[in-house]
Amino acid sequence: MNDTPEWLRDGLDHIWLPYTQMKTASLPLGVAATDGARLILEDGRTLIDGCTSWWTACHGYNHAHLADAVRRQLDVMPHVMMGGLANEQAYTLARRLADLLPGDLSRVFLAESGSVSIEVAMKMAVQYWINRGEAGHTKFVCFENSYHGDTLGTMQVGDMDQGMHGTYKDVLPQQHLLRVPIDDESRADFEYFLEQKAAEIAAVMIEPLVQGAGGFKFHDEETLKFIRFETDRHGVLLICDEIMTGFGRTGSMFACEQAGIVPDMMTLSKALTGGTLPLSATISSAQVNEVFLSDDPNTALMHGPTFMGNPLACAAANASLDLFEQEPRLEQVVAIERHMKDALPKAHDIQGVADVRVKGAIGVIELAEMRKLNWLKQRFVDCGVFIRPLKDVIYITPPFTIEQDDLAQLTNAMLQVTSEWSNEFYV
């Protein structure tokens, strides 16, 4: 604890950390500053960040364009409520997102976190049916290995059997958890399920192409197309949760574009502000929105977080969209993908490795089983990188602006540490 800064030592007894058994928690790394792809620790060490702070900092840390936009906005107006008052940044962002998103996804509800945007999508879906006068559409279909957040509503549409929310399962309403329809059998199951249950389903929810926190499981474009086709055929709403996949992470601006599908609702967060400030969006199609319009106040969506449309966060999001327009982000993702597809398959030769996969700027080594998680985390730090294994996967989701040498250091560390782990613990 001698190297530990005072603020960390003194605060540790009072802070409650995420997903952590506080009794046995190891000390987090004190971060003094960030810079590009780097975390600069309080003790002077520098780590290349393989996680981009839970997949947010897509332009790297401290990008001047984002910092300037937030600083400027701070001087003008840090916040005004959205009830009865309008701020330029929020309205501009809504218009820009509508222009950018596929199809008629054009009605933007802003909130502060990914989980809240999912809650809003769930409320919209349920109310869509109520407003149409079609009672009984109260349930959601979600998929094995899915993760959509930690709040009471969002946990229900996550995989509570294999995910981290099993403790809460018995106190929450049960939703329908199906296999992702990736093969003939699971497709037939999905089809049959919708045939039987469409009248009680509010919406199907999926993380398109890559299920993130559930273990970075991939499915292909055909699967997404199939889901859209069947939900259309059975008149069921489709929600694509692009909180992790949105803004280039899987190789296109939005993952659903790769399948050429348009969901009825989409959720965005994380990289929306380039990793600077909390913000999320639930975007519905004009057709879904239409059902909320009437002379009856009761058909309005009753939701309005205090900090929704916060001008600082929206200024950051607008600046982040500028960067996607002005800098070659998607080309950078292609280069990252190319490097990882070249480097990571070597891990197939390591005993204890179950799979290696790469999609866009996501590189994954899946272990047959996770052992010695804390040992792994420490070894990565020893190698000068911040890589945080999750479930049974060692993954990286680097900033798109990462330099080639830094990226190579991340993939080398993945291979080296996995190999050491295998030698130590897998014999």
Ligand X SMILES: Cc1ncc(COP(=O)(O)O)c(C=O)c1O
β 362-367/353-359 pair status? antiparallel
Closest approach of Cβ 177 to ligand X, in Å?
Answer: 16
Closest approach of Cβ 213 to ligand X, in Å?
Answer: 5
Residue 203 within binding range of ligand X, rule CB under 6 A = no
β 201-206/385-386 pair status? unpaired
Choosing from 149, 153, 246, 352, the residue that interacts with ligand X (CB under 6 A) is 149
Residue 148 within binding range of ligand X, rule CB under 6 A = yes
Choosing from 243, 272, 319, 387, the residue that interacts with ligand X (CB under 6 A) is 243
Enter the DSSP assignment of 270. Answer: G
Choosing from 269, 332, 418, 422, the residue that interacts with ligand X (CB under 6 A) is 269
Q: Of 274, 288, 316, 174, nearest to 231 (Cα)?
A: 288
Stretch that binds ligand X, among 126-134, 240-248, 311-319, 382-390 (CB under 6 A): 240-248
Angle between helices 64-76 and 311-326 (to 10 degrees): 150
Q: Are 281 and 97 in contact (CB under 8 A)?
A: yes
Residues ≥6 apart with Cβ < 8 Å to 169: 160, 161
Question: In the numeric block, which tokens belong to residue 377?
Answer: 């985390």
- How many chain residues touch ligand X (CB under 6 A)? 15
Closest approach of Cβ 318 to ligand X, in Å?
Answer: 19
Q: Of 395, 420, 411, 413, nearest to 342 (Cα)?
A: 411
Of residues 44 through 63, those in contact with ligand X by CB under 6 A are 54
Q: Are 231 and 310 in contact (CB under 8 A)?
A: no
Of residues 70 through 129, those in contact with ligand X by CB under 6 A are 113-115, 118
Q: Are 221 and 209 in contact (CB under 8 A)?
A: yes
How far is Cα 324 from Cα 334, in angstroms, rounded to an integer?
14
Choosing from 230, 241, 264, 366, the residue that interacts with ligand X (CB under 6 A) is 241
Q: Which residues of 89-103 are buried (b: 16+ CB within 10 A; e: fewer)?
A: bbeebbebbeeebeb
Closest approach of Cβ 158 to ligand X, in Å?
Answer: 9
Q: In the complex with ligand X, which residue's Cβ is closer, 115 or 284?
A: 115
Q: Which residues are catalytic?
A: 19, 147, 241, 270
Strands in 393-396's sheet, in edge-to-edge order, are 353-359, 362-367, 393-396
Q: In the complex with ligand X, which residue's Cβ is closer, 312 or 353?
A: 312
Residue 357 within binding range of ligand X, rule CB under 6 A = no
Choosing from 90, 239, 244, 266, the residue that interacts with ligand X (CB under 6 A) is 244
How far is Cα 27 from Cα 12, in angstroms, rounded to an integer?
8
Choosing from 51, 58, 213, 259, the residue that interacts with ligand X (CB under 6 A) is 213
Closest approach of Cβ 60 to ligand X, in Å?
Answer: 20
Stretch that binds ligand X, among 19-27, 145-153, 281-289, 385-393 (CB under 6 A): 145-153
Enter the DSSP assignment of 370. Answer: -
Closest approach of Cβ 207 to ligand X, in Å?
Answer: 5
Q: In the complex with ligand X, which residue's Cβ is closer, 269 or 419?
A: 269
Closest approach of Cβ 2 to ligand X, in Å?
Answer: 34
Choosing from 50, 60, 153, 212, the residue that interacts with ligand X (CB under 6 A) is 212
Q: Of 119, 148, 134, nearest to 214 (Cα)?
A: 148
Stretch that binds ligand X, among 17-25, 29-37, 72-80, 241-249 (CB under 6 A): 241-249
Query: In terms of C-beta density within 10 A (0-12 exposed, 13-18 middle, 19 or more buried), how is residue 164 classed?
Result: middle
| Residue 353 host element (H or E) | strand 353-359
- What does the binding site for ligand X look like in residue numbers (CB under 6 A)? 54, 113-115, 118, 147-149, 207, 212-213, 241, 243-244, 269
